[in-house]
Structure 1
Amino acid sequence: MRRSLLSTLILCGVFAGPLASAADQAVQLTHVAGPFAADPASLDKYETPDWFRDAKFGIWSHWGPQAVPRAGDWYARNMYIYGTPQYEHHLKHYGHPSKSGYKDIIPLWKAEKFDPDALMALYAKAGAKYFVSMGVHHDNFDLWDSKYHRWNAVKMGPHRDIVGAWQKAAVKAGLHFGVSEHLGASYGWFGTSHGHDEVFPQLGVPYDGADPQYADLYHPKHDELFGGGHKWYTKDAAYHQEWFNRITDLVTHYKPDLLYTDGGIPFGDTGRTLVANFYNENIKTHGKLEAVYNHKDIGSGEFLRKAGVQDVERGVMNGIQPLPWQTDTSMGDWFYSEGYKYKTTRDVVTMLADIVSKNGNLLLNVVQYPDGSLPPESRKFLDEMAAWIQVNGEAIYGTRPWKTFGEGPTKTEGGAFKENADYTAADIRFTTKGGSVYAITLGEPKGQVRIASLGTKAGLEKRPVKSVSLVGATAPLRWKQQDDALVIDVPASLPTTTASSFKIGF
């Protein structure tokens, strides 16, 4: 869910628990035959496919018309809230939202420099093994040739099938392809468009969301508005039907390997039916289950931990998790924002190592300009990440957690929206593959690296260390396994400076 910390706290306190199943009774659902049914017990039989567990790193294009104003995330909602920075921005650059609203932003999104093949080549070189396209955000604008919705990227804006273009590029580059849907929360989220200013000179003049001719974009006015004690997901069965139809159209048309929902499984049996259908169709396509469904243990809707892969927004988990999971985060703001502080490559690398050591994956939004090209911060990151992963990829891809995720002085807190950590070279994360253990320093090591978890008496490994090498280097290392630690002399020159990976054999 794309939001400020304040609104996140509101969500956590207010939007809890699954929706009543009675809301689903009027929804007409189609069921795809296969081993999965729409009940929790059936979905709990899901097992995460190996491709996802091996991939570790994906890139997301969280991009659409809301990038046009260059004023950040949740623009389509916040531009209708009097006094917010995005309201003031819209008033200054586009006019009052009673006359010039979000509907007038959409035609300005031309995506004229969007080159998915060139971008995908950069993403693959930077180490991404899967790619996720935005399907539809809370702004209710579909980025594909939508069968059920006229507000889509083929009929308006860029007049281009954005999802389809991304899919072709991902397949060409050999990446697994996914889509994200944020539609479930749109019905209340967009309620601000039906409001009005509370002060003169436009006191009481309705915003353009109140105009019936645009009701299919802004949704008809109803009493389930986001905030003020109302739920993230609506209880209105008509909206459940629309959600089911449009997201079914999305996954049926593009057959993604991954589907991301921005919240819990929406709308009770309606959402569970869609997930079961997604899995059953995927089995028909591949001969076995290769699909991943991401949903969150935050907000309303159902969270069924075994039914898919848990997603943690802008945060990590505490310790090694028994089931695979995923962090989703962004290089900068979720949509392009002038002056926003971007993550450094070191931020991303250390986050990736920490997540992988705990049985997780990292899905990273690489910010794009409205025209589809990359800001210099995004391009610099991709180049630097490519250099790091080319050397250290063997310590990441195809690995599994070791006996402990890591050691070091820096303490972190698990959970959503808790991603900032000032790691040092003394903070170490472990992965294992092929009988070897990889120790990744979350900083540039100098002098000596001491690994307490591999001491002969105080450590966790009963087998004596037989070999130690620096991934990416050919020169032998000097090392000694002492009672309290494995001590490695760090060479003067390192293959990578952001973080280093030591391969340890027994």
Structure 2
Amino acid sequence: MKKHYSGTWDSVRTHEVPDWYEDCKFGIFIHWGLYSVPAYAPRTWELGEVPGDETWFCNNPYAEWYYNSVNVGQGPSYEHHKKVYGEDFAYENFADMWKAEKWDPDEWAELFKEAGAGYVVLVTKHHDGFCLFPSEYTDYNSVKRGPKRDITGELTRAVRNQGMRMGTYYSGIIDWRFANDPIYREEDNFDNACPTAAYADYAYMQSKELIDRYEPSVFWNDIGWPRQGVNALPGLLSHYYNTVEEGVVNDRFNGLYHDYTTKEYKYGESTRDEKWEMCRGMGLSFGYNAEEGDDKIISVPEFIRLLVETVSNNGNLLINIGPKADGTIPQEQVKRLKQIGKWLKVNGEGIYGTRCSKRENELREDVDLFYTRKEDDLFVFADVKEKLPQEIFIKGAKAPEGVIALDENVELTYRTEQEGVYLNILKNESGFRMAGVRIPGGE
């Protein structure tokens, strides 16, 4: 019998993280909107490396924050905007410049499937207020302006046709069309942004539109929720769970509730005791930044390592792509998605459907070891830093049924001693630095 949620915090908090979210491990985040037209941000820091004050907000590396980065009236994005578009050029003009003329949602979905992703989360409204869906509450959307298409609807169909889950991101607490005072400090996100009850109602009703129209498997709220609308949150979340029985929400609801916690670059905390999600761009930005070419974004070995490290510590990786304004995904991003998909086709047994091992990861001078488990089977992922052959000692491990390389292009031997298992990786001709092995009954 389907569970019913009654619109109270006590009822909402009985919701449990569904198995699909625990199992899929890897998702695709998409930041695509008006900010993809200027496609500019300075390359400065990862979020969390510097304080959230004027240093960050006046030198913001997030291209999707272009509106505010110009609105602060100083810094690289402001100077860029004056030079390229003119000081009096309004951000809203980008709505008529964004055509998405080469966009093919089926092509995107096929790529995400090839990458090995289990779910996709699309930014349906970022802080600039432009919606990628038809809304009863504003004409500032992609059906009335710009592409003249229901981007959320078209992509939802394409993603589901590929057998993946579809999620929607919504900027809950910030909408610069309601309150556009410049944000200079992290506190301004809560103190200055969207202070009215009218906006709280707007955010509630648009969120309900997304839930009712698209039934997203993930409802991904950003930063926080309007304080004036907090009392309505249990009702909204109950409606969501009653509509999408296996839905999940993140932790960006003013600390009031979550199914899972989030970490963004170096900002936020994670624990092996609770489900969490790492989100980040391939470079320093989420939205497409023309300043970030192939040599400025995450390498394939770093990408694979990030996935393995995240999963081994009880997390999911939500990696972001930033499409160009015309709807094409930059080739440097496509290349990385295809490569991680190729790696997952061989090594996915030790990623999908796994849980944390009782063993903590080990970062050594010559090799870093990451552990996952599936029932009694132990999976070991070795990021070898030295030349092969390389012997790896796993203290206290047993190998009652042997050791099996996940990739047939990895050659290894092993021996079991009283103190543990010795793996000897002789060759790795897989093309990838990270090698995985399965030890049946080794957990």
Corresponding residue of 1:303:
255
1:70 lines up with 2:39 in the alignment: yes
How far has the Cα of 1:425 moved from its partner?
Answer: 6.0
Could you list the per-position Cα deviations for residues 428-463 of structure 1 after superposition, in whole angstroms to 9, with x for gaps in the alignment?
Answer: 1101114211001134672224243xx3xxx2x5x5
- Scaled by the length of structure 1, the TM-score of the pair is 0.76
| Aligned pair partner of 2:424 in 472, 489, 503 | 489
C-alpha distance in 2, partners of 1:235/1:156?
A: 27
Alignment CA distance shift 1:43-1:425 (3 Å): farther
2:215 to 236, 241, 255: 255
Corresponding position of 2:110: 121
Which stretch of structure 1 is more off in the superposition, 119-128 or 472-481?
A: 472-481
**1:387 has 2:347 as partner:** no
1:47 partnered with 2:36 = no
1:371-410 map, 5 Å: 371-409=326-364
Is 2:277–2:318's contact at 8 Å kept on the other side of the alignment?
Answer: yes
Partner of 2:78: 87
Q: 1:235 Cα deviation (Å)?
A: 4.2
| Counterpart pick for 1:472 among 407, 410, 419 | 407
Displacement of 1:252 in angstroms is 1.0
Query: Structure 2 length normalisation: TM-score?
Result: 0.86
Secondary structure of the structure 1 residue equivalent to 2:343: helix
Q: What value does the CA root-mean-square deviation take over the aligned residues? A: 2.5
Find the aligned partners of 1:175 and 1:228 in 2 and give their Cα distance.
35
* Secondary structure in structure 2 of the residue aligned to 1:184: coil
* Letter of the 1:59 counterpart: I
Work out the CA distance in 2 between the residues paired with 1:102 and 1:476: 56
The answer to whether the aligner puts 1:442 opposite 2:383 as a matched pair is yes
Q: Unmatched 5+ residue regions in structure 1?
A: 1-32, 191-217, 283-288, 410-423
Q: Which structure's residues are more often strand, by fraction?
A: 2
Indicate if the aligned counterparts of 1:40 and 1:304 stay in contact, CA closer than 8 A.
no
Matched, 1:103 2:92: yes
Which amino acid is the alignment partner of residue 471 of structure 1? L
Match of 1:413 in 2: none
Give the structure 2 partner of residue 148 of structure 1. 137
Query: Following TM superposition, by how much is the alpha carbon of 1:130 offset from its aligned partner in structure 2, in angstroms?
Result: 0.6
1:240/1:270 contact within 8 Å kept? no
Q: Which residue of 2 aligns with 1:112?
A: 101
Q: How many residues align?
A: 409
Q: Kindly tell me: are residues 316 and 432 of structure 1, through their superposed partners in 2, closer, same or farther at Cα, counting changes over 3 Å?
A: farther
**2:369 aligned partner:** 428
Report the alpha carbon displacement of residue 155 of structure 1 after superposing the two structures with TM: 0.2
The structure with the largest alpha-carbon Rg is 1
- Unaligned segments of structure 2, at least 5 residues: 41-62
Q: Are 2:163 and 1:163 equivalent residues in the alignment?
A: no
**Shift of residue 63 of structure 1?**
1.0
The question of 1:219 aligning with 2:173 is answered: no
Equivalent-residue separation in structure 1 for 2:422 and 2:409 (angstroms): 19
Closer/same/farther in 2, CA of residues 82 and 382 from structure 1, 3 Å limit: same
Q: CA distance change for structure 1 residues 348 and 439 in 2, over 3 Å: closer, same or farther?
A: same
- C-alpha displacement of 1:497: 1.9
Task: Give the equivalent residue in structure 2 for 1:278.
Answer: 240
Structure 2 contact 287–322 (Cα < 8 Å) conserved: yes
Q: 1:174-323, aligned counterparts within 5 Å?
A: 174-186=163-175, 190=176, 218-219=177-178, 227=185, 230-232=188-190, 234-267=194-227, 268-282=230-244, 289-296=245-252, 301-304=253-256, 307-315=258-266, 321-323=272-274
CA deviation after TM superposition for structure 1 residue 276, in Å: 1.7
Change in CA separation of 1:58 and 1:157 when aligned onto 2, cut-off 3 Å = same
Q: Partner letter of residue 281 of structure 1?
A: T
Q: Which letter does structure 2 place at the counterpart of 1:94?
A: Y
Instruction: Report the Cα distance in structure 2 between the residues aligned to 1:49 and 1:158, rounded to whole angstroms.
Output: 35
